């Protein structure tokens, strides 16, 4: 009785109106439930908030309370934790969703929101994309794990080698943090050196983070340098001297780097006999299928991909030159489910779509440009100051000078029907280009901003 276990505990009112009933399994066996299911194809538990029940915000608040009681931070993905979505003092906001389709999600309180975050850039086609869903359902039905590696591992690896400039060999993993940690391990194994120079967010693992619970020694051999800072990069390379194993960088951090800096990263690695690694988690299958290396013409030795690669299914890849990737076999990099076929089937469907549907990345750029133009027009028309749009078209962000104005905007945007990302990228998806989504986005942004002016907040 899985639903009784998960929905039958805690505050009864906190149960979303469209959660399956506690006794869903038993209900499925009786005539009544069958009759309801037949009724216009809408299961009883998908019928919306019954009249007289709690408001959307009350239901969402109850779920947040339940989440806070059982999950530190309220969500397992840091950026989806309520205070990271809306800011510490936010009082009214949704934290959890029931379902998502295209670029819309439905909250536990049955509010539909136009989502500009696209699951932190993990989804570029749209939520519950038909082709991807068909592929994963069929992979699941066919048996997605067994005692041998699945054939899709080979097929997707071959396609990645076609699409990504540096890719001659591929290893799959499940998360971006894992893939980037693996790339660093491979670089160290290939060079027999330890020092690493790093730029950007590279995942949560010890080697790339500092903070409670992380021994200082974990990053003793990692030098962080600011993005696009030539002097810092050169100094760090000089300091690492003959022990430099790798420079690992996010090639885009809020903006594109100068060609000189990226070119210097390449030539400094060449001169030092070190490995250049691009973390293409956000840029891959977004700016170009092959990531920023395809845009810049600077080819790293290794690169890591994830997020849009499988349209939200858990898959990441380390790809790179054979002479470096062969070291993956000299060290131990392995995960039980690294090559499970559901996520690989999703990636195969994504690649197929990118192959068959013209230039998907160019389209994402066009749609992103239209999204930011609409929001920018709303900002200008409202007269709200201290807010601007930055970033690239396919991954853009709203920057506020004042956190209180940002928080008030995000809350009001949700009230009017849109979820924007606080302090980080909003991502274009193909779904944002469908129907009247772009008009909807501008009018929601406009309504939220005008309220800020009317209420004297901005």
Ligand X SMILES: Cc1ncc(COP(=O)(O)O)c(C=O)c1O
H helix count then E strand count, the chain: 17, 14
313 touching ligand X, by CB under 6 A: no
Q: Which is nearer to ligand X, 315 or 458 (CB)?
A: 315
Task: For the CB of residue 337, give the shortest distance to ligand X in the complex, in Å.
Answer: 14
284 touching ligand X, by CB under 6 A: no
Asked if 394 contacts 286 with a C-beta cutoff of 8 angstroms, the reply is yes
Size of the site for ligand X (CB under 6 A): 14
227 touching ligand X, by CB under 6 A: no
177 touching ligand X, by CB under 6 A: yes
Asked if 287 contacts 164 with a C-beta cutoff of 8 angstroms, the reply is no
201 touching ligand X, by CB under 6 A: yes
Overall size of the chain counted in residues: 458
Asked if 367 contacts 375 with a C-beta cutoff of 8 angstroms, the reply is no
Task: For the CB of residue 57, give the shortest distance to ligand X in the complex, in Å.
Answer: 29
Kindly state the tokens that stand for 65: 């309370």
Asked if 335 contacts 185 with a C-beta cutoff of 8 angstroms, the reply is no
Residue 334 CB-density burial (10 A; 0-12 exposed, 13-18 middle, 19+ buried): exposed
Which residue has the CB atom at the shortest distance from ligand X? 176
Please identify which residue in 84, 175, 311, 397 interacts with ligand X, judged by CB under 6 A. 175
Q: Which is nearer to ligand X, 318 or 408 (CB)?
A: 318
Kindly state the tokens that stand for 172: 């799959």
Closest CA to 205 of 197, 193, 190, 215: 215
Sheet holding 426-427, edge to edge: 387-392, 395-400, 426-427
Which residues from 244-283 bind ligand X, rule CB under 6 A?
250, 279, 281-282
Which residues from 104-133 bind ligand X, rule CB under 6 A?
120
Task: For the CB of residue 203, give the shortest distance to ligand X in the complex, in Å.
Answer: 4
Q: Which is nearer to ligand X, 250 or 301 (CB)?
A: 250
291 touching ligand X, by CB under 6 A: no
Task: For the CB of residue 381, give the shortest distance to ligand X in the complex, in Å.
Answer: 33
Please identify which residue in 200, 284, 300, 368 interacts with ligand X, judged by CB under 6 A. 200
180 touching ligand X, by CB under 6 A: yes
In sequence order, the 6+-apart residues with CB closer than 8 A to the CB of 404 are 89, 457
84 touching ligand X, by CB under 6 A: no
Task: For the CB of residue 346, give the shortest distance to ligand X in the complex, in Å.
Answer: 14
C-alpha to C-alpha distance for 277 and 319, rounded to whole angstroms:
10
Please identify which residue in 306, 368, 374, 433 interacts with ligand X, judged by CB under 6 A. 306
Using the contact rule CB under 6 A, the part of the chain among 52-60, 173-181, 288-296, 339-347 near ligand X is 173-181
DSSP secondary structure of 357-425:
SS-HHHHHHHHHHHHHHHHHHHHHHHT--SEEEEEETTEEEEEES-HHHHHHHHHHHHHHTEE--SSS-
Closest CA to 318 of 162, 437, 182: 182
Task: For the CB of residue 287, give the shortest distance to ligand X in the complex, in Å.
Answer: 13
Using the contact rule CB under 6 A, the part of the chain among 2-10, 172-180, 191-199, 407-415 near ligand X is 172-180
Q: Which is nearer to ligand X, 117 or 191 (CB)?
A: 117
Residues that bind ligand X (CB under 6 A): 120, 175-177, 180, 200-203, 250, 279, 281-282, 306
């Amino acid at each position: 009785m899985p639903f009784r276990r998960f929905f039958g505990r805690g505050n009864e009112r906190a149960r979303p109106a469209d959660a399956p009933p506690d006794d869903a399994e038993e209900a499925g066996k009786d005539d009544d439930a069958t009759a309801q299911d037949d009724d216009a194809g809408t299961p009883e538990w998908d019928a919306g908030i019954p009249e007289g029940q709690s408001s959307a915000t009350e239901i969402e608040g109850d779920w947040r309370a339940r989440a806070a009681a059982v999950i530190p931070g309220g969500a397992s993905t840091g950026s989806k934790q309520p205070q990271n979505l809306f800011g510490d003092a936010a009082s009214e906001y949704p934290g959890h969703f029931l379902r998502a389709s295209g670029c819309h999600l439905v909250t536990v309180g049955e509010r539909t929101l136009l989502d500009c975050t696209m699951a932190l850039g993990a989804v570029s086609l749209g939520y519950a994309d038909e082709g991807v869903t068909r592929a994963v359902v069929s992979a699941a039905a066919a048996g997605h794990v067994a005692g041998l590696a699945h054939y899709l591992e080979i097929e997707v690896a071959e396609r990645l080698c076609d699409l990504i400039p540096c890719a001659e060999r591929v290893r799959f993993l499940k998360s971006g943090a894992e893939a980037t940690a693996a790339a660093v391990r491979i670089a160290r194994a290939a060079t027999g050196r330890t020092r690493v120079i790093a730029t950007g967010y590279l995942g949560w693992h010890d080697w790339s983070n500092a903070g409670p619970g992380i021994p200082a020694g974990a990053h003793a051999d990692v030098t962080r340098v600011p993005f696009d800072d030539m002097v810092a990069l050169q100094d760090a390379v000089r300091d690492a001297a003959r022990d430099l194993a790798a420079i690992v960088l996010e090639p885009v951090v809020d903006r594109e780097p100068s060609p000189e800096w990226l070119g210097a990263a390449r030539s400094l690695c060449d001169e030092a006999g070190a490995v250049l690694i691009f973390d293409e988690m956000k840029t891959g299958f977004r700016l170009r299928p092959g990531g920023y290396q395809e845009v810049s013409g600077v080819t790293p030795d290794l690169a890591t991909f994830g997020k849009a690669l499988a349209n939200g299914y858990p898959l990441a890849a380390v790809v790179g030159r054979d002479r470096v990737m062969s070291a993956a076999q000299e060290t131990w990099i392995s995960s039980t489910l690294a090559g499970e076929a559901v996520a690989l089937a999703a990636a195969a469907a994504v690649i197929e779509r990118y192959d068959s549907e013209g230039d998907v990345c160019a389209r994402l750029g066009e749609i992103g440009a239209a999204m930011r133009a609409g929001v920018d027009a709303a900002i200008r028309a409202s007269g709200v100051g201290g807010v601007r749009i930055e970033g690239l078209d396919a991954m853009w962000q709203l920057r506020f000078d004042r956190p209180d104005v940002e928080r008030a905007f995000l809350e009001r945007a949700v009230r009017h029907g849109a979820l924007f990302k606080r302090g980080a990228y909003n991502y274009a998806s193909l779904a944002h280009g469908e129907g009247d989504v772009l008009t909807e986005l501008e009018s929601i942004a406009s309504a939220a901003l005008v309220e800020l002016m009317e209420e004297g907040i901005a």
